[in-house]
Structure 1
Amino acid sequence: MKFKILFCGALLSGSLLIPGTLHAQEPKEPDQVALANDEFENNFFEALKQKGIENYDKAIKSLEKCLAKDPQNAVVLHELGKNYLSLKNYPEAEKAFLKARDLDPNNRWYWQSLYDVYYETKDFNKSIPVVQKLTEWRKQYYQEDLVSLYMYTQQFDKALDLINEMEQTVGMSEKREMYKLQILSDSKYRKPQKETLEEAIKKNPKEESNYLELIYLYSESNQEQKAQEVAKKLEKEIPGSDWAQVSLFKFNLNNNDGKKAAESMFRVLDSKKIDRKIKHRVLNEFLIYASNNPQYMGDLDKAVGYFEDDKQVNVPKEIGKFFFSKNRYPEAIKYFERGLIQKPDDIETVELLLYTYTEAAQYDRLLKKSEEYIELYPTQARLYYFAGLASNQQKQYPKAKHYLETGIDFVVEDPELELKITKQLVDTYTALGDNKKKNEMAQRQAKLEKSKSN
């Protein structure tokens, strides 16, 4: 939820020059004053040294000696709290930070340290007033935390008000949008929110976010016609709105207008404003549509190209899986091959591609590709299985024998794969006329099948 702020607290506070000299004392002999100051400083810097090597108990003892001489020193109290926090002694850490804050309420780091305690203990109610104070220093940053805290404590009215305020001041974010949708899923917030948004659109027809929220509310209450009217109004008032295309895309699909849906989709995919997750959702919906309307497969191919640089999701691979599940092997092969161009070292995609070649009975391609990948991954047993299977199918039995005998030695705790290779070896030895090995493999096959059934 929050960014952990690292700092050397002792040195950031302006009150730390020589902590032991911050308060007036009774006049003493010069030598006595020097000795007292040396003792305070030595204890304080010993505490910093011990904390640096994670001897927190020793650091605490040194700081307590400092406090014995100067119990109202906020810097020392703050250091004491940090050591208790490192030991996860939250009550003592809180007590020390509260004292430091009360002594110097304008020091941001004392408030931040209190937030550290409440964050680690998940005391969200205590966190709220602290974070409200922290917004005086970094408003936007801590407002993000405040929204989350309101959500965790189910103060949805406050969360919604703050989300609306931030949308006007700093714009939209995926996380706040998710929170807002969660709040508005409760019917008690919908009606007044609709009226508020309709009024806001009348007053400021160029504010894009109001249209988007209203479209969502109408869609959630199954008022699709009204949602479409709002989307069209948005497109009219803000012709360059990319967000309008998200809604229009859905409407065009529902109306079975593939051409206009594709146009809206490409506007969405081109947009720099729209989050990648939304783009994925649009692509997925068009994938389903195009799979049932093959005349739009060209548009699907083009759309997939927009995700070539996606480091999180291998989009061609996922589309390949979709077509494989539909037994549409030519399309699956095409997208698995594209997936390997995008990420050549993805062994799962390699195996999916080889399995698809098998299902499509493309044994020449299966043999060639499996041999290529054996060179790259010489200990992957499944690759040898595919090479052996393809060799058997092409009646290249000596080659099949080589691959299958090699592959079975690499099988580790995978009885299903071991059974598959064993079955292929039975066929290979039968074709080669090696009855002894054929019988050995047949016995091994029977044993594996019995074990599997149990």
Structure 2
Amino acid sequence: MMKKRVLVILVFALFSNAFSVMAQTNPEDIAMATDEYQDSFYESLKQKGIENYDKAIVSLEKCIKLKPNDAVAYFELGKNYLSLKDYGNAQSFFEKATQLDPKNKWYWLGIYDVSYETKNYPLAIETIQKIIPFDEEYKDDLISLYMISNQYDKALATINEMNDKFGKSEDRDRYKMQILSQGKYQNAEASNLIDQIKKNPKEESNYIDLISLYSKSNETDKALDVAKQLAKEIPTSEWAQVSLFKVYLDANQADKAINSMNIILASSKIDSKIKHRTLNEFLIYTNKNPQYAPALEKAIGYFDNDPNVDVAKEIGKFYHSKNQFENAIKYYEKDLSANSDTDRETNLLLLDAYTQAKQFEPLTKRAMMMIEVYPSQPQFYYFAGMGSNQLKQFKNAKTVLEMGLDYVVDDAKLEANFNFQLGEAYNGLGDAKKKEEYFLKANELLKKKK
């Protein structure tokens, strides 16, 4: 989680020459005051290297007797006590080192290590803020601490500050997504992105993040406004096509609109909600300009693997609502062939469209097939019986309607329709008495419904 913290621990395990490249002097690289001090100090390093921390501590205590104000010896004592998980002593000696030399970041990092190991996050935050003046990149550690301690406001502000200064990072993006999943932070992030766009109108990622933010909160109109602004600043962007598509469509420049639409639908960057809205707008346009139906067919193909919406089915419903039953049938059949051929809702919609279009042969065939799949669903028996009557297959109509009537429960309208179709079947079979009997039942049920 905190790469710098781990790095510090590893680096300090090396001897002094490894620190020559550091911005500050390595505590272990300071010249020794006396031979006795030097011997004791190096003995402590040797014992620590073979994990004899108790013996290392004894040697360091000798060093402190010789040089009571030596920050390096106190720091080394802190490290040895930290290795022994004696956090109280470790913190005390690290603090003593910082008192003697407050401008050495390594001493503060010792306290940070203790606070992190003991999950004392308030102390960790306080300490890392003292380290940041030496190295601003430690703000990434501060962000992690804010996330651990659920201080999301401060984390988000620091993330935006670091992104602005050093560019985005994978860790910060992950944290930001976690924060923004809580809706109350989205307004603050939207304001930040708007400011970033004003500062740097040629940075595409800020537009995309803002569009995504609005899209996820179902503020599609705002998302389209941002796309329009993006189109003005960066016309080559895929997201810019979202705005250009609408401009072309409103100007009746169909070929340009279709080109923009295909770019939008093929893009892996553009949100699915925007894609669905684009397709819906083109569907409405195609309804008024049917010569562009082939382009609509191609557009639907982009959604073949969409797990969230059966696009062909929804288009079928659109045409169904417009009483364009031939078109509705085409898209219902397309949906059934691409997905589940036995989807109950789509089949019922298709059977109704067949009925309205007076396509009784495919109606009867599909309804009979669906009876095998859903043997207790009366609607399929009804459609099969009605279709058989229209095809003058009265015996088959009588049989299937009588079977299906047993499954009708608490649906007076459907029961009335069954009785009416049974009357038609008996009429076709030449039984006038039965015909009148079922017609009478149908009328009585319709009166009750009223």
Q: Supply the AA of the counterpart residue of 1:198.
A: K
Identity %: 39
**SS in structure 2 at match of 1:136:** helix
Q: Is the 8 A contact 1:242 1:271 kept in 2?
A: yes
Against the structure 1 CA distance between its residues 194 and 252, is the aligned structure 2 distance closer, same or farther, given a 3 Å change threshold?
same
Evaluate the alpha carbon distance shift between residue 211 and residue 407 of structure 1 in structure 2; reply closer, same or farther with a 3 A threshold. Answer: closer
Offset at residue 402 of structure 1 (A): 1.1
Following superposition, the deviation at residue 385 of structure 1 comes to 0.7
Kept in 1, the 8 Å contact 2:264–2:270? The answer is: yes
Aligned residue runs from structure 1 range 36-55, under 5 A:
none
Give runs of aligned pairs for residues 265-276 of structure 1, distance below 5 A: 265-276=261-272
Q: Please state if 1:404 is matched with 2:407.
A: no
> Could you say which residue in structure 2 is the equivalent of 1:59?
none
Q: Following the alignment from structure 1 to structure 2, what is the Cα–Cα distance between the partners of residues 431 and 248?
A: 60
Conservation of the 8 A alpha-carbon contact between 1:228 and 1:251: no
2:422 counterpart residue number: 425
State the 1:258 CA deviation: 1.6
Contact preservation (8 Å) 1:391, 1:399: yes
Aligned length in residues: 306
Q: More displaced, 267-276 or 345-354?
A: 267-276
Conserved 8 A contact 2:143-2:155? no
Deviations along 1:86-121, one digit per CA (max 9) or x if unpaired, are: xxxxxxxxxxxxxxxxx987556x99xxxxxxxxxx
CA contact (8 A) 2:332 2:350 kept: yes
Displacement after TM superposition at 1:185 (Å): 12
TM-score (norm 2): 0.58
**1:297 offset after TM fit, Å?**
1.0
Q: For 1:146 and 1:361, locate their aligned partners in 2 and report how far apart those are by CA, in whole Å.
A: 65
Alpha-carbon distance in structure 2 between the residues aligned to 1:174 and 1:414: 49
Whether the 8 Å contact between 1:314 and 1:343 is mirrored in structure 2 is no
Hey, what's the Cα distance between the residues in 1 that align with 2:179 and 2:423? 57
1:376 paired with 2:342, answer no
Alignment-mate amino acid for residue 442 of structure 1:
F
For 1:25-40, what aligned pairs fall within 5 Å after superposition?
none
Aligned partner of 1:278: which letter? I
Q: Which runs of 5+ in 2 are unaligned?
A: 1-113, 122-139, 215-219
Q: Which residue of 2 aligns with 1:233?
A: 233
Rate the CA distance shift 1:395–1:207 in 2: closer, same or farther, 3 A. closer
* Structure 2 counterpart of 1:251, from 239, 247, 252: 247
Provide the residue aligned with 1:209 in structure 2.
Answer: 206
Q: State the secondary structure of the residue aligned to 2:425.
A: helix
Cα distance between partner residues in 2 of 1:354 and 1:303: 26
Distance of 1:222 and 1:307 partners within structure 2: 21
Closer/same/farther in 2, CA of residues 451 and 297 from structure 1, 3 Å limit: same
What does residue 144 of structure 2 align with? 136
Give 2:326's aligned amino acid. P
| Cα 1:183/1:446, change in 2 over 3 Å | same
Counterpart in the other structure of 2:326: 330
In 2, Cα distance between equivalents of 1:435 and 1:315: 48
Contact 1:198 1:214 in 2 (8 A): no
RMSD: 4.2
Taking the TM superposition and a 5 Å limit, the aligned residue runs for 1:294-443 are 294-341=290-337, 342-443=339-440
Taking the aligned partners of 1:173 and 1:274, their CA distance within structure 2 comes to 17
Q: Does the 8 Å CA contact 1:197/1:214 hold for their aligned counterparts?
A: no
Query: Is the CA contact (8 Å cut-off) linking 2:234 and 2:240 kept in structure 1?
Result: yes
> SS where residue 429 of structure 1 aligns?
helix
The residue type paired with residue 296 of structure 1 is Y
In structure 2, relative to structure 1, the CA distance for the partners of 1:441 and 1:184 (3 Å cut) is farther
CA distance in 1, matches of 2:333, 2:271: 27
Secondary structure of the 1:367 match is helix
Matches within 5 A, 1:96-245: 106=117, 136=144, 168-170=168-170, 176=180, 183=187, 197-201=197-201, 205-210=202-207, 213=210, 228=228, 230-235=230-235, 239=236, 241-245=237-241
* Alignment partners' CA distance in 1, 2:257 and 2:204: 25
User: Shift of the alpha carbon at 1:312?
Assistant: 2.0
TM-score, scaled to structure 1: 0.57
The structure 1 residue matched to 2:256, chosen from 260, 273, 277, is 260
Shift of 1:133: 10
Q: Conserved in 1, the CA contact under 8 Å of 2:230 and 2:239?
A: no
Q: CA 1:451–1:245 in 2, change beyond 3 Å: closer, same or farther?
A: same
In 2, Cα distance between equivalents of 1:300 and 1:175: 39
For residues 257 and 175 of structure 1, what CA distance do their matches in structure 2 show? 42
Q: 347-356 or 164-173: which moved more? A: 164-173
CA deviation after TM superposition for structure 1 residue 348, in Å: 0.5
Offset at 1:276? 1.8
Aligned residue in 2 for 1:100: none
